[in-house]
Amino acid sequence: MAERLDQTDCVVIGGGVIGLAVARRLALLGREVVVLEQESLIGTHTSSRSNEVSHAGLYYRPDSPQAILCVAGHRLLEPYCAKHGIPYRTVGKLVVANGNDDLSWLEGIYENARNCGARGLEWLGGNAARDLEPELKCDAAIHSALTGIVDTHALMLAYQGEAEAHCASVAFQSRLLGACVTDTGFDLNIEAGDDTYNLGCDVLINAAGLWAVPIARSIEGTMQDDIPHVYFAKGAFFSLTGKSPFQRLIVPAQQWIRMGGIYTLDMAMRARFGPEEEWIEKVNYDIDPGRSATIYESVRRYWPSLEDGMLQPAYTGIRPRLNGPGEPMADWIIHGPAEHGTPGLVNLFGIESPGITSSLPISEVVAAMVDGLPFRDALDAQRVTD
């Protein structure tokens, strides 16, 4: 029999970077917050299995949630990291083209990035790009000088610390089994170890990442027609043995991006490539060493010196996507009371890259939506205008 516990103000489902950012913001606003995290640590899924890039906002559809929140978040993230002692490094990025088809694509990216409001962009010819990175092979490149890398775990710890300093709490190994809408908010049925208990709350934030869709479907008394289908895109990352050839991040043309061709650096400036993507049905983090074959092909387009045997399996991550294979990238969906009619409920669907970069403005959007502001109005309030 489930034990009945006291009522609380806000419950956030999911202790990843988005859930913790939201918990921090609500706590700073004076709300009583409990975070439910099914694992024993924060951010063990999508948040901790990324390439940890702080994106400037080059690729997203102008006026989309990703574009607006990424550009806003990029301006906020580095100062936040500096204030809280979080490792952050502005390394820059080169998006490269080889051949006429790539050049046409790169010109489109450059125009798109400018329309999105990305800062620090410069068009470079091949020789100018090689002046920056002598081992690089390309005909042209976009230099995104302000792209950075961030210690995501330290960022999540800072969000958690600020939230807890303002009386929020994180309940680990606590999984939501189901919920129902009541006259005063929500009644949650929670599994914690071998026990179950009930908890009432006024506000419920579904920031469960990979599990956001099934969580939303488990809340009785809500409109279900607007809950999307989610797809899982699993990406494999491979580390480079030996010295890093580039001091900046390198991104190849569009057809090679999802084939593992992206070159990134960790905070110790060690090189890795990925994600090399595949679509999966269920969450698993197995890594197939054979998937490095497409990475070698992709990377050698801009770094011909990559030798066989230099790539080693590192880790995999899974992104919750609202588009399936071969479909255009879908917009993030954040639904609040103004969208679905249930007071106090905010669902976040399909939040993947650039979610880490966008986490601070996302938390502002969610906080505004809790109070009934429509999503588009809350989103527009985060728009960078200068």
Domain check: are 177 and 137 in the same one?
no
- State whether 122 and 203 are in the same domain: no
Could you tell me which residues come within 8 angstroms of residue 369 by beta carbon, excluding any fewer than 6 positions away?
Answer: 334, 336, 337, 338, 346, 375, 378
User: Which residues lie below 8 Å from residue 240, measured CB to CB, with a gap of 6+?
Assistant: 270, 271, 272, 273, 310, 311, 312
How far is residue 49 from each of residues 28, 60, 261, 322, 344, measured CA to CA in Å? 28, 21, 17, 19, 30
Residues 22 and 123 both lie in one domain: no
Q: Which tens digits make up the pLDDT trace of 11-49?
A: 999 999 999 999 999 999 999 999 999 999 999 999 999
Considering the domain architecture, whether residues 136 and 253 belong to the same structural domain is answered as: yes
User: Which is it for strands 249-251 and 93-97: parallel, antiparallel or unpaired?
Assistant: parallel
Domain enclosing residue 311, as ranges: 93-145+231-321
Give the model's pLDDT for residue 198. Answer: 94
* pTM of structure: 0.96
Domain boundary residue among 272, 297, 321?
321
Count of domains for the chain: 2
pLDDT value, residue 77: 98
What is residue 258's predicted lDDT score, i.e. its pLDDT?
Answer: 83
199 is a domain residue: yes
Q: Which of 288, 303, 321 is the last residue of a domain?
A: 321
Sign, CA torsion 238/243/247/252: negative
Amino acid at 102: D
Domain assignment of residue 240, yes or no? yes
Same domain membership, residue 317 and residue 236: yes
83 within some domain: no
Tell whether 245 and 316 lie within a shared domain.
yes
Render pLDDT for 264-320 as a digit per residue (tens, 0 to 9): 999 999 999 999 999 999 999 999 999 999 999 999 999 999 999 999 999 999 999
Instruction: Provide the pLDDT confidence category of residue 257 given band limits of 50, 70 and 90.
Output: confident
How does residue 1 score in pLDDT terms, banded at 50, 70 and 90?
very low
Residues 166, 305 within the same domain: no
Give the H/E segment covering residue 176: strand 174-181
Residue 269 resides in a domain? yes
* Closest listed residue to residue 141, CA positions, set 170, 120, 182, 110: 110
Amino acid at position 167, single letter: C
pLDDT at 4 over 60: no
User: Which amino acid is located at 225 in the chain?
Assistant: D
* Cβ 316 vs Cβ 48: under 8 Å: no
* CATH number where 288 lies: 3.30.9.10
Do residue 42 and residue 182 come from a single domain? yes
* pLDDT tens by residue, 154-166: 999 999 999 999 9
Asked if residue 355 is part of any domain, the answer here is yes
User: Can you tell me which residue has the tokens 């197995």?
Assistant: 286
The CATH number of whichever domain residue 13 belongs to comes to 3.50.50.60
For residue 132, being part of any structural domain is answered with yes
> Is residue 317 located within the same domain as residue 241?
yes
- Which residues share a beta bridge with 187? 180, 200
240 and 375 assigned to the same domain:
no
Task: Judge contact between 317 and 275, C-beta under 8 A.
Answer: yes
Say if 131 falls within a structural domain: yes
Please say which residue of 295, 321, 347 terminates a domain.
321
Same domain, residue pair 287 and 236? yes
| Residue 20 counted as domain residue | yes
Residues 140 and 242 in one domain: yes
Per-residue confidence at 256, pLDDT binned at 50, 70, 90?
A: confident
> What does the DSSP assignment read for 54-112?
E----SSPTTSHHHHHHHHHHHHHHHHHHHHT--EEE--EEEEE-SHHHHHHHHHHHHH
- DSSP track, 314-372: EEEEEEEESS-TTSPPPPPEEE-HHHH--TTEEEEES--TTHHHHHHHHHHHHHHHHTT
Burial of 305 (0-12, 13-18, 19+ CB in 10 A): exposed
